[in-house]
Chain A
Amino acid sequence: MTNTLHRYGDAESFRDDYVVFAICSRGKNDEESVPKLRRFLEMALPFQPVNLGDARHGGALRPSKSVNPMSHWKRDMQPDFQAVIDGLDTPTTAAAVFDNRAAAEDFVKSVKAADLGLSVNISTSIEGAEQCCHEADICRHSVGYSLGFEGKTGHLPNEDVLQLSTMCGHGMVSSSFAKKMVDWVKEGRRTPEEAVTYLSRFCSCGVFNPSRAKRILEDARKRTR
């Protein structure tokens, strides 16, 4: 699973994108891991994450199987972080997403101090990760580099759409839908905040970054391509 690794963008575009996730290894530290994973998510709350998620159940904004027709006019757009924490009931990957380095650094310090025994990774620009580790006095154990997309890249959409759609590394945010949201924001049919909530609900593990997505949509609104 490389769900946060291959986000499209240059290092500068990840200035508001810090995904910190905890994962246990099957047969090695998965016993009693559920309360530790919940604790990991709870510890993120004081640092104002923009999303929380667990790989089995999703993020802080989720689709509903029984939408009230009135929701077309009054939709609940607020993330429900507590639901993510309460819903985590099986060993999985728990993720906290931040839109600024200071928050990510403070969270990493806090996680280190808690000594949960879980593997903890940060996915962002290489420099951003180095800074976070440095501030927390952590020596990186291993690093996994993304070499980007290659092969038949002609099949890929434009950069704005690609930046949005690859924020769900499992590919659940479709390029067509991301393009539609860019177009709707351009048309003024929806605000970037509204468009972001639609996109977020498709991410099945909660690593979608609504703050970065909003910035991308704001930028795309004025672009000509």
Chain B
Amino acid sequence: MKIDPEKCVACGNCTYVCPMGAIYIDPVVKRATVNRDECVECYACYNGLSQEHLNPTLVRTMRKVFQMMRLRFDPEPDVCPTAAFAPEELTWPRVVRRAFSDPRVPHESTGVEGRGTEEVKTNDVSGRVNVGEVGFTIEFGRPGVGVWMREIQEMSGQLARAGVAFEKKNPITSLMSDVPTGAIRPDILNEKVLSAILEIKVPVARTEEIIRLVWEVEKRLETVVAIGVGTRCDPDGEDRTVAPILERLGYKLERAKTNMGLGRITNSAPDVRPAEGARR
């Protein structure tokens, strides 16, 4: 993302709305400036700020006058008064930043907007996580911290050494140069993204082992981690297996998303045979 210095009036609104805090007013040029190392190309500034198209010279003059009179100009905080943001053509490997950071850009590998896949949200039709299995989503960087691809590789490498399989349709998996070892393409390791998710599936019996592994690796990372644990409920809609394990590990379970099982396969020619547990 770039900010047109001819248009920018250094109002500072954009410095707050950047999720990574990567925009600042440069005291030398007196314009908003993007820290390109920290910018993850999420487009929150460009997509989220409403845009006015005021004359920059007029706005700068007014701001100077107000400043001299010690008057506080009080504009709407979610507006760029001169529409100064200018998206740039992103090339490889920087384009990876946007793919994982701008939720409106679907990953080609999944067709899903965002950083992950359908996971248990469509489990009633995909049958991805069956009885006796646990699906993990291990998310890095959110909220507002960001993560370098090399940090994700630290985790994926350890998980691979533990012998787990990565979800094939996950965007991170699609960027691995060697899936069995969890190695991510070397040319993107120095790219930073807003967040990314590793997805794995293991037998229920390995739940505690995987969580302890994540705890060990996350100590070495400079970011935050959010674990999601998905499981298939019993026929009566209860989960008597996984929740007790998580509680025994010290987690107080507050929030969950619940798949109500209302979905069914309706396509005239489904692309794959329905998995066990999927509804037709």
Contacts and interface: CB of A to CB of B under 8 A. Distances in A.
Interface of A: 1-7, 9-11, 14, 21, 23-32, 55-56, 63-69, 71-72, 75, 92-93, 108, 111-112, 115-126, 129-130, 133, 136, 138-153, 155-157, 162, 165-166, 169-177, 180-181, 184, 189, 198, 201-202, 204-205
B255 A146 contact: yes
A7 B228 CA distance: 12
Interface string B121-143: 11111100100000101011011
Nearest to B79: A67
Contacts of A133: 237, 258, 260
Going nearest first, the 10 A-B pairs with the smallest beta carbon separation are A141-B261, A1-B114, A27-B271, A119-B263, A139-B237, A170-B103, A25-B122, A202-B48, A144-B230, A151-B225
Interface residues of B, number: 104
Given A4-B257, A172-B42, A144 B229 contact: yes
Contact of B261 (A11, A27, A139): A139
Contact of A65 (B50, B118, B145, B221): B50
Interface stretch (B31-39, B86-94, B175-183, B239-247): B239-247
Interface in B250-280: 251-268, 270-272, 274, 278
A171 B19 contact: yes
A149 B225 CA distance: 6
Interface stretch (B2-10, B70-78, B159-167, B184-192): B70-78
Contact of B139 (A2, A29, A32): A2
Contacts of A181: 77
B251 to A, nearest CB: 5
Residue from B211, B239, B263, B265 whose CB has the most chain A CB atoms within 10 Å: B263
B115 A1 contact: yes
A142 B123 contact: yes
Contacts of B53: 66
Given A31-B266, A65-B83, A142-B232, 7 more contacts: A4-B257, A119-B122, A143-B257, A144-B120, A148-B254, A149-B226, A162-B143
A14 B252 CA distance: 15
Contacts of A21: 121
A145 B78 contact: no
B202 interface: no
Contacts of A72: 75-76, 79
Given A29-B125, A55-B103, A71 B258 contact: no
Contact of B263 (A117, A149, A166): A117
Contacts of A24: 122, 263
Contact of B222 (A31, A146, A152, A175): A152
A147 B226 contact: yes
Given A56-B104, A155-B223, A166-B143, A30 B267 contact: yes
A23 B113 contact: no
A25 B126 contact: yes
